[in-house]
Amino acid sequence: MEKVNTLFKVNEGGPLEVTGNFRVVNSGGKIIENKEPVYLCRCGGSSNKPYCDGSHNRNGFSI
């Protein structure tokens, strides 16, 4: 079996991009996403948390 690394890429002024071998699990332990890439909100403004919905473009997030 081939080992696939997980990559976390911080996009400047935008979301955290996750690719590779990973699972996103909710607080109840259910797997809610297993596709790649996944873009996770860093600005706190997404209405679709933990996923990015582009709110960083509207709320001035710049880190």
pLDDT tens-digit profile of 8-57? Answer: 999 999 999 999 989 999 889 999 878 889 999 999 999 999 999 999 99
Q: Any idea what the Cα angle at residue 23 is, between residues 49 and 9, rounded to 5°?
A: 70
What is d(CA 45, CA 42) in angstroms, rounded to the nearest whole number?
A: 8
Determine the pLDDT at residue 63: 85
CA–CA gap between residue 31 and residue 26 (Å, rounded): 6
What are the chain's domains? 7-59 (3.40.5)
Query: What is the rounded distance in angstroms from the CA atom of residue 47 to the CA atom of residue 24?
Result: 17
Q: What is the band of 1 on the pLDDT scale with cuts at 50, 70, 90? A: low
* Structure tokens given for 62: 């710049």
